[in-house]
């Protein structure tokens, strides 16, 4: 079974049971962002969480096994077409150098970890239109000289 086939089965079960990612993550005991990413094949789960997910969604053990496999974190080099993903791509395109510059100014020469990392997505009510709040929190990793 491939990661893509795994994702298709998970998404089908989620829809069939009329659940949200928040509900699934709460039952499994994880962040909805990380759990969703694992279900989409971009992260892996420890056996305990993979088994809980499969039990909750009534999925076969083979899904648990694939959820535990190391991901192949790759993506197309083309510009994404989905409007939400494209806007995130656009944000990095427009603000990426600014973010890099400000991280360098505040922390020194280094990067923000995407391994020692958390992210939360919240909805902020606003009379002018609800706002999407994305909070990314990554450990600073300085570059080393040798």
Instruction: Identify the burial level of 35 via C-beta atoms within 10 angstroms of its C-beta, where 0-12 means exposed, 13-18 middle and 19 or more buried.
Output: buried
Q: Say if residues 130 and 124 touch (Cβ distance below 8 Å).
A: yes
Burial 70-102 (b: 16+ CB within 10 A, else e): eeeeeeeeeeeeeeeeeeeeeeeeeeeeeeeee
Active-site residue, from 26, 61, 101, 113: 113
Q: Say if residues 124 and 105 touch (Cβ distance below 8 Å).
A: no
131 flagged as catalytic:
no
113 flagged as catalytic:
yes
Active-site residue, from 48, 55, 90, 101: 90
Active-site residue, from 5, 8, 87, 97: 87
37 flagged as catalytic:
no
Active site residues: 87, 90, 113
């Amino acid at each position: 079974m491939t990661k893509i086939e795994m994702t298709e089965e998970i998404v089908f079960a989620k829809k069939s049971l009329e659940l949200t990612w928040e509900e699934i993550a709460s039952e499994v005991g994880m962040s909805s962002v990380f759990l969703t990413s694992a279900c989409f094949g971009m992260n892996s789960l420890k056996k305990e969480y993979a088994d809980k997910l499969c039990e909750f969604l009534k999925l076969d053990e083979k899904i648990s096994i694939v959820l535990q496999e190391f991901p192949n974190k790759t993506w197309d080099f083309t510009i994404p077409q989905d409007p939400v993903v494209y806007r995130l791509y656009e944000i990095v395109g427009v603000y990426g150098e600014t973010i890099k510059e400000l991280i360098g100014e505040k922390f020194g020469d280094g990067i923000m970890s995407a391994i020692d990392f958390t992210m939360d997505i919240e909805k902020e009510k606003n009379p002018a239109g609800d706002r999407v709040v994305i909070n990314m929190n990554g450990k600073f990793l300085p570059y080393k000289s040798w």
